[in-house]
Chains A and B, each alone.
Chain A
Amino acid sequence: MAELQKDPITRSDFLGLGVIGAVMGTILTIPPVAFVLTPLIKTEVEGESDVLRTWERVDHVANIPEGEPVSYVIEFPIRQTYGDDRIQEESGVSQQEFTVRNGVWVSWRDGQPPEVLGGIGEGDEVSRDQIEELTQHLNVMNSTCAHLGCPVRWVAEVEELLCPCHGGLYDINGEHIGGPPPRDLYRYTFEIREDGFIYITHEFDGDPYIV
């Protein structure tokens, strides 16, 4: 220690160096940190989303069976770095359409289709009342487990949705009945339109973080 003090600095020098150091440090730190955190700032602070708020068609209600859920893979267009549609259009280089692929399970509540479904076939116009009735009986769930996000599958023998990763269990309505998941499967915001088709958008009852 003694040697370090051979060339003592005065209090004001020390303060001056400290202030200059702090200012320089801040100036040098902000650009790289903000650069790396861009997506975080855009999504968390500015509330932007990479997923375009489109409505994607899933299937006709008449195709949802009794007693078991059916799975679909639905793609939502996204904009993210080089996948950004504006950038792609301007550069004209990439032909690839960038999407996020979601696994979707659709089932009737408790596996029981509502009465009104009986008279509806593909091509029929569906009335408002029927839509209301159908909507109340439909489960449209994201297939990633509410625990750590593995895709769940239907095991017909036990009539449960089973997660292969840590044994999370859900019933046909996506309600959590066992294993580590802290909640039920995430549900999509969906609508049934007059043509009888189910449409979903990338919006959930809660924040699933990664889908």
Chain B
Amino acid sequence: MIGRVKAQTVETGKLLADWIEDRTGAVSMMEKFLYEPVPKRGAWLYTLGSATLFLIVLQFLTGILLLFYYVPTVDHAWNSVYYIMNEAYFGQLIRGIHYWSANFLMAVIGLHMARTFFSGAYKAPRELNWVVGVVLFLLVIVLAFTGYLLRWDQDGFWASVVGIKIGSYSPFIGGYVVNFLIGGDVIGPATLSRFFAIHVWLLPAILAPLIGVHLYLLRRHGEFGSEFEYTERLAKLKERQRLEEYERRYGLGEEEEERRE
């Protein structure tokens, strides 16, 4: 009885998968997206990219949730964050995740970059993916910077003042940079509005498709050091060792001859 039900379920499952595969190609696509050879050595370090992606997705999800209550005006911003923290169910959790995930994101993205750098994964043909990665990194930094002002409390405010004022030291255009960022000549309603626009619309809208490009390029060339490259490099190494061995013997022979003469 149970066996029959099980067999039937498997059968229907297969039918369903086949049906979907037929119309959309989703199943083979899943296979393509999910399975990727990864080098055996240092495999854990290769999860840093996925960790970054995971945290960014968390930022998007919790960020969208925060937007249900957050009000981006100077007279209400702090109050709305206060409401999130004290009135909204699980508000502390949602905001806490957004806050801590932003912090960890900076660390993890840095480690991911370091891994790519030290394993030489930026080399041909993967140069462009390194470039895209650097742009992603800069976008995340600006996201973290613009997000901090949105709290509109003393911490976020003064940190932003310092951050913005660093821009005032740019040669020739210092003043323009500051006035562009604060939307006038003092920090006020315009400043919060544009930081909000940049944090919640502009940068996520650029970030998301770029992540797509990053992953596409990754799949196009495969994980650096993946199975194929590994065996090839191993073969090259063996060949070099063989040559060296040969040369050593041959060269040694010559030296011997010279000495005897």
Residues of A within 8 A of B (CB): 37, 39-40, 42-44, 49-51, 78, 80-83, 94, 96, 98, 100, 144, 148-151, 165, 207, 209-211
Contact = CB atoms under 8 A, between A and B. Distances in A.
Contacts, number: 81
Contacts of B179: 39-40, 43-44
A81 B189 contact: yes
Contacts of A150: 158, 161-162
B13 interface: no
B182 interface: yes
Contacts of B161: 144, 148-150, 210
B168 to A, nearest CB: 5
Given A43-B179, A50-B185, A96-B75, A81 B162 contact: no
Contact of B165 (A50, A82, A94, A149): A149
Given A151-B158, A209-B168, A82 B178 contact: no
A43 B188 contact: no
Given A82-B73, A207-B175, A50 B188 contact: yes
Interface of B: 73-75, 158, 161-162, 164-166, 168, 174-176, 178-180, 182-190, 193
B162 to A, nearest CB: 4
Given A39-B184, A207-B175, 20 more contacts: A39-B179, A39-B183, A43-B179, A50-B188, A51-B186, A80-B184, A80-B186, A81-B188, A81-B193, A82-B73, A83-B74, A96-B75, A98-B188, A100-B187, A100-B188, A149-B158, A149-B162, A209-B168, A209-B174, A210-B182
Centre residue among B176, B178, B185, B187 by max chain A CB count within 10 A: B185
Contacts of A43: 179, 184-185
Contact of B74 (A42, A98, A207): A98
A50 B188 CA distance: 9
Given A49-B185, A78-B186, A210-B187, A94 B75 contact: yes
Contact of A209 (B158, B175, B193): B175
